[in-house]
Amino acid sequence: MVRTPSYYEYYKSTYVLETNSEGDWVGYRLNTDTGEFQPDNRPIAEILLATSTSEVSSLDREEFIWTTEEIRGQLRGDGPVFALYETINAMYEQKEREGRKSFTPEERALIRSIRRRTFKMWEEEAARRAAGEPPTFTVRRA
């Protein structure tokens, strides 16, 4: 039996599997062009039957948030969430300039904290838009 929600990396994107009020499985895949999760039930059987492969792997919630925000951090746009992505990108650039292979524990904790925050910002944005409110940030096409 699969517990829901359950989280996956699926073909260079993230995917969440949930159950609806009738007990049916429903899935949402991250659109890597918009940063939004969209309904997509097509991969459910493949995901449920897959063993961990290079294309499908199970994630815990923390790994799911990290991976989702790592993908979203590659997007460009306007609004406060993108300023936070720029902060993370600057940290990566600093590490590279200094020739370091890894972050300090403090830097890693800060990045994790920022990614949790940006993930929550996207969730709040989706709820606002679903309620008919105007967006507070926008993704620009590259």
Rounded CA-CA distance 108/16 in Å is 25
Q: Rounded distance, CA 98 to CA 19, Å? A: 47
Sort residue 99 into left (φ over 0), alpha (ψ -120 to 50) or beta.
Answer: left
Element holding 68 (H helix, E strand): helix 61-72
Q: Within 13 A of 37's CA, how many CA atoms are on the CB side?
A: 26
Can you give the pLDDT of all 142 residues of the chain as single tens digits? 678 899 999 999 999 999 999 989 999 999 999 999 999 999 999 888 876 667 899 999 999 999 999 999 999 999 999 999 999 999 999 999 999 999 999 999 999 999 999 999 999 999 999 999 999 999 986 5
Alpha carbon 44 to its chain centroid, in Å, reads 18
Cβ count within 10 A of residue 129:
13
